[in-house]
Amino acid sequence: MNGKVVVITGASSGIGRALAVEYAKRGASLSLAARRIDQLIELREQLTDSEILAIQTDVTSENACKELINKTVQHYGRIDVLINNAGLSMRALFDDIELSSFKRVMDVNFYGTVYCTKYALPYLISSKGSLVGIISVAGHVALPARSAYTASKFAMRGLLDTIRLENLYTGLHVLVAAPGFTASEIRTSALRADGTPQGETPRKEEKMMRSEDCALLVIRAIEHRKRSLVLTFAEGRLPLFFGKFFPLLLDRLTFRHMSKELDSPLHKKMARQRK
């Protein structure tokens, strides 16, 4: 990766931070984006063996995404990999969620990917580089009480698959990576129905895939120029199999699994249906 330039959004924590650490080990030059600039600066100070730009970026802003790409190109002269990793989750029934909260999730996950990809695409095509979207298994299998999150991840997959087709003969590589549940801050920052942060995770983080392991697998998939990556068997590849051949069974298993979360909104749904 010496001489290669990698842009990572949502790089202040979780999978994004782990990707930055792993790419720094490989000698890449990095352009790291997140809203929390203090955490990006702290990370830059730790990764002293790589050249790193830390750029405060709110991916819901088209101008901020354009500035991220422009600053990267002005500094490095090229972009070889763009990883759209910035993400926001939510947990509420569609019946209850405020539309402003739904829109916020779409703005971060989907439109953040649209904006960054739009402005980076000419440089990625020029370098025959890699365009990457970190979606989720929720981009393949619907998750109850995660309507906005699921919709945004399905939309990301559709967008990136289309861009791959449009660039079939340009040399552009497009990877859609779908981790299962991965230990990160995404569940603590997830929005409730009214748009306030959830504040605590409803799941056992220690039993999930580590962000570092996820990042390593994503980078290997980029190196091998794979088109898709679905991580974990039980929460990833197995549900896709059931969805293809036993869709009703998958619906029931998914509902049961998600209803086991602490204070799951699905309990409210079931109570309403009993009345």
- Strands 81-84 and 5-9 come out as parallel
- Which residue in 93, 101, 86, 180 sits closest to 133, CA to CA? 86
* 149 is annotated as an active-site residue: yes
Q: Roughly how many angstroms between the first and final C-alpha of the chain, as a whole number? A: 60
Give strand pairing partners of 177: 134, 229
The span from the CA of 37 to the CA of 20, in Å, is 15
Task: Give 36's DSSP letter.
Answer: -
Phi/psi at 247 (5° precision): -60, -40
Give the separation between CA 144 and CA 212, rounded to whole angstroms: 27
Strand pairing of 130-134 and 5-9? unpaired
Alpha-carbon distance of 157 to 202, in angstroms, equals 26
Determine the Cα–Cα distance for residues 83 and 14; give it in Å rounded to an integer: 14
Q: Is 153 left (phi over 0), alpha (psi -120 to 50) or beta?
A: alpha
Catalytic site residue from 115, 119, 149, 169: 149
Token readout for 220 is: 């290997």
Residues in the chain, overall count: 275
Catalytic residues: 149
